[in-house]
Structure 1
Amino acid sequence: CYWYKSEARFVECWHVLSTAIREAQELGMHKETVSGQLSEFDREMRRRIWCILDTWDWQISALLSRPVLIDRTDIDVSLPSLTLEGYTPSPLQHMKLQSELITQLFNRFGLPKDVSQHGDVRAYQAIVDRWMNAFPSTYAFIDPETSNDASRPWIVLHRHYLHTMAMSMMLDPIRAYLARPMSKQSPPEEVKIRDDGVDYSLRLLDALHGFFGHVYPRDAKFHFVLFCIFDTAAVLCSALMHDQDSSLSKRDDMLVAVDKALSMLKRLNTVTKTARTSYKVLAKIAQNISRPGQ
């Protein structure tokens, strides 16, 4: 499942993840109380496995616009304590943080597809924003604590990953607004949500470029990052194409971001099939964008 995810083969990842989740449920990992005695170590391991499955289910299902695989109304398991290592942050801290947010969002809204009304989108943004502001100092968006970066190499990777996923999850319920025809005459609340979506997309692309710079070429996860760059740039293209009167305040920044994504994908299109396919598709989409002087 992890390999498919890192290779940006999300459909295969979704199917393998489904099998893993069903196996975990057969073993009762989605329930806190199990028959027989369990050591604290075994209980913690079960919680960690379920935390990973729960987080990946939400992410991959949202990415593919498919139903989630886990019925979260049937879950009764605590988050892992992450105290076994004897130091902080644990290598699994980034997954626990995401699982905490997913639980909050599900308890408030249900599934991401159900967040569509203006008020719900605003409430969703507020929840994710509070979650981001509460990150441990090691993973903070602004001036993170870096004293342990050299001794614990996973920290930098997980910082990039968390920042990427935070912006991606913030963008999830707003994507639909970036695909709607809009102008100055559109309802102000919809325009504001669209503009927020543009800001999140630009921030997400910045995070992704930093993430890519960290993992390429030594880490296979760059395939996943490349796909996300393509996907986010395509979202910006959609907003630009649906901007009926060129009233987007950050239109120039959006065009620069799309061109930067295209440049990166083009530079790597002889290295990886993911980049080659993404470049061809994004270049074709970008041709439909109205640019200054056209």
Structure 2
Amino acid sequence: MDYLGYMGGKDYLNLASEVWLSTEIRPTPSDITQELQQAVQALPSRSLTDALVQNFLSVVNYNYNAIYPPTFLEGYTNWWADRAAKRPLSPEYTCLLLRSCALSTQAMPSKLRNTLEFELAEDPTTLPDRFHQAAELLSSNFSPGEKGLIQIQQLFLVVCWFKNAGRFIDSWHAMAKCVREAQEMKLHLDDSMMEMSEYEREMRRRMMTIIFVWDWLMSRWLSRPLLVDPVSCTFRDPTLQLESDPENPGVPSPFTNLTLQSKLIRSVSDSLSRAQRDPSEANVKDLCARVDRWHADLPPAWRRDNPDTTFDVRYPYLKWQRILLHGTVAMVEMVPTKPYLTGSASSQSRATQQYFRSFAVERALTSLREAEKAYELMKDLDPRHFYINFVLFDTLTILCSGMIHDDNKDLPHRSAVLDAIETAMRPLKEISLCSAPGATSYQFVLRLAQCMPLTPEEQVRWPFHHANKAKRSRRERSPQPMSTTKSSVEAEEGSPSTLHSTGSGAGSGSGSGSDQNSPPVQVPSLEDFQEIDFGGIEELWDWNALNIENLDPGSAEEINFTGFGGSTSN
């Protein structure tokens, strides 16, 4: 059946389980010898590869859990033994090893980075591309359905690599390849009638859960169609028994967070779609009720409030995964209530209007808190992590828009919102020191923060003020284009090195009150946004959600975005 192009159904799953694609189109060992040799040569020495693999398994893998470490390490030991004995190497494992090293080099601690730079006598930032390209060349020789589960794993690591690099559209297209390979292997179907080992069954279910969750999240972020058809999916949840240890009962599986996300998605997908199409009181409350039920069923270690942290020290991945889980949930809940916060939706009842505004603010504050926790955990390892930059940027812009639209100065938790914006700007500024997209994101949010109309009391405490005419005159006399290098963003916001000379600019200060000499106010427009290079983050973000395109020009300070873009390189 596979040979004819048919996908096996539940009534004949095992009919063609051993049938492969025609041998005429399958690569023979000689077809990939050259690519395999090039792939092997791309890897560094054994000791350096060991360090990269250790970093991948101890840090990177817990973001996605696509690899089961014991099996991977067994294959790793065998791979080196085969290489030492000059036996044929597994092309598929070589490709998977390259993918893991490519991801590992995207999130290196300083010690490992320095070691690689010293041993290789080259810039270690070139390694992610080198490993990725070598794996791409080797993987191009694999036919669909030929390499089994390991092929699906390495294809998913491609998704992760693009996402970590800020190439979100490429990541989505890579996900399409991964989904089709998984469907070719029937991972989306109930496997209870298939003959296989329990380990293989568990790993198939885990991979399909990963694909299901990330496909859904990416479709929401990128406003693109689902690649996995939920109607055709009959796969079962994994048992999570692989990591069970009788001597340490109760330790949560590192895969638990993905199973919990899968259950949430199945529960809220329809409700969220309805609430997005029609953010009515009934639809939003239905979504909230579903999320509340999901929260109520969470295991103790995964609760948002007062979680059981017994295992956090010994298993540090738990804290990181808990942060990602609840940060993601907060953003999901905020989706249908954003229009109430930004003024693009309203309710006939003022009480209902305030309820939704309050709900959106509370979820936004939760989202910021989780992002700040994530940054504290990752700042010494991978401060450019896509989740941190995106959540800080997205949530801060929404809150700034909410403040800009708060004509009556009655935004729920208004004081807490100001505190949260000020606090969250600090990690975003620190990210700007090591990432061009982060620098651009920070400068953009800074300008929105400077646009917000404040009360006299709020102006006294607000640290983000506009540059006065004297500063503007100095900038005009000494024109300097904006740079996204570390030296430029380390300077005080609004300094000549961070703002283009031809605009009115914006600065930061700690003085009390607003500048009486500030120019007429004007919020950045859609045209401004489209001209800015955010290094890929704009692919995830809906400018129209801010609803500031048609604001009264007198409601915020004039902002000039000429020369505001930055390089997409990190």
TM-score under structure 2 normalisation?
0.48
Within 5 Å, give how 1:10-25 maps onto structure 2: 10-25=168-183
CA distance in structure 2 between the partners assigned to 1:108 and 1:285 by the alignment: 32
Deviation of 1:181 (Å): 5.1
Partner secondary structure for residue 454 of structure 2? coil
Within 5 Å, give how 1:83-162 maps onto structure 2: 83-87=241-245, 88-106=251-269, 108=271, 113-114=276-277, 116-162=279-325
For the 8 Å contact 1:174–1:197, the answer to whether it is kept is yes
Deviation of 1:102 (Å): 0.4
Counterpart residue number, 2:455:
292
Within 5 Å, give how 1:72-91 maps onto structure 2: 72-87=230-245, 88-91=251-254
For the 8 Å contact 2:384–2:435, the answer to whether it is kept is no
CA distance in structure 2 between the partners assigned to 1:254 and 1:175 by the alignment: 15
Deviation of 1:67 (Å): 2.4
Q: How much identity, in percent, do the aligned residues show?
A: 30
CA distance in structure 2 between the partners assigned to 1:96 and 1:236 by the alignment: 31
Deviation of 1:224 (Å): 2.3
Counterpart residue number, 2:379:
216
**Larger mean Cα displacement after TM superposition, 137-146 or 1-10:** 1-10
- Would the alpha carbon gap of residues 285 and 12 (structure 1) be closer, same or farther in structure 2, given more than 3 Å must change? farther
**Larger mean Cα displacement after TM superposition, 67-76 or 7-16:** 7-16
**Larger mean Cα displacement after TM superposition, 191-200 or 102-111:** 102-111
1:64-94 deviation line (CA, Å, top 9, x unaligned): 2322222211111111111121143111100
Counterpart residue number, 1:250:
413
Within 5 Å, give how 1:220-235 maps onto structure 2: 222-235=385-398
Say if 2:328 is the partner of 1:165.
yes
Q: 2:200 aligns with which of 36, 42, 50?
A: 42
CA distance in structure 2 between the partners assigned to 1:81 and 1:220 by the alignment: 33
Deviation of 1:259 (Å): 2.1
Deviation of 1:220 (Å): 5.9
Say if 2:359 is the partner of 1:196.
yes
CA distance in structure 2 between the partners assigned to 1:203 and 1:86 by the alignment: 32
Code of the residue aligned with 2:225 in structure 1: it is P
- Would the alpha carbon gap of residues 262 and 109 (structure 1) be closer, same or farther in structure 2, given more than 3 Å must change? closer
For the 8 Å contact 2:357–2:412, the answer to whether it is kept is no
Structure 2 spans left out of the alignment, 5+ residues: 1-158, 246-250, 457-513, 515-570
Answer with 1 or 2: which has the greater Rg: 2
1:77-136 deviation line (CA, Å, top 9, x unaligned): 111111121143111100000000101113556577346332111010111122123221
For the 8 Å contact 1:184–1:247, the answer to whether it is kept is no
Code of the residue aligned with 1:12 in structure 2: it is D
Counterpart residue number, 2:29:
none
Q: 1:28 aligns with which of 167, 186, 189?
A: 186
1:178-210 deviation line (CA, Å, top 9, x unaligned): 222579986432331122001110111111111
**Larger mean Cα displacement after TM superposition, 223-232 or 264-273:** 264-273
1:164-189 deviation line (CA, Å, top 9, x unaligned): 11212221222232222579986432
Structure 1 spans left out of the alignment, 5+ residues: none
Code of the residue aligned with 1:290 in structure 2: it is P
Partner secondary structure for residue 322 of structure 2? helix
TM-score under structure 1 normalisation?
0.90
**Larger mean Cα displacement after TM superposition, 58-67 or 224-233:** 58-67
For the 8 Å contact 1:31–1:76, the answer to whether it is kept is yes
CA distance in structure 2 between the partners assigned to 1:9 and 1:258 by the alignment: 27
For the 8 Å contact 1:180–1:242, the answer to whether it is kept is yes
For the 8 Å contact 1:47–1:79, the answer to whether it is kept is yes
Partner secondary structure for residue 287 of structure 1? helix
- Would the alpha carbon gap of residues 262 and 6 (structure 1) be closer, same or farther in structure 2, given more than 3 Å must change? same
- Would the alpha carbon gap of residues 120 and 51 (structure 1) be closer, same or farther in structure 2, given more than 3 Å must change? same
CA distance in structure 1 between the partners assigned to 2:199 and 2:212 by the alignment: 20
- Would the alpha carbon gap of residues 97 and 54 (structure 1) be closer, same or farther in structure 2, given more than 3 Å must change? same
Deviation of 1:33 (Å): 4.1
1:25-55 deviation line (CA, Å, top 9, x unaligned): 1221111148852222212111101101111
**Larger mean Cα displacement after TM superposition, 143-152 or 95-104:** 143-152
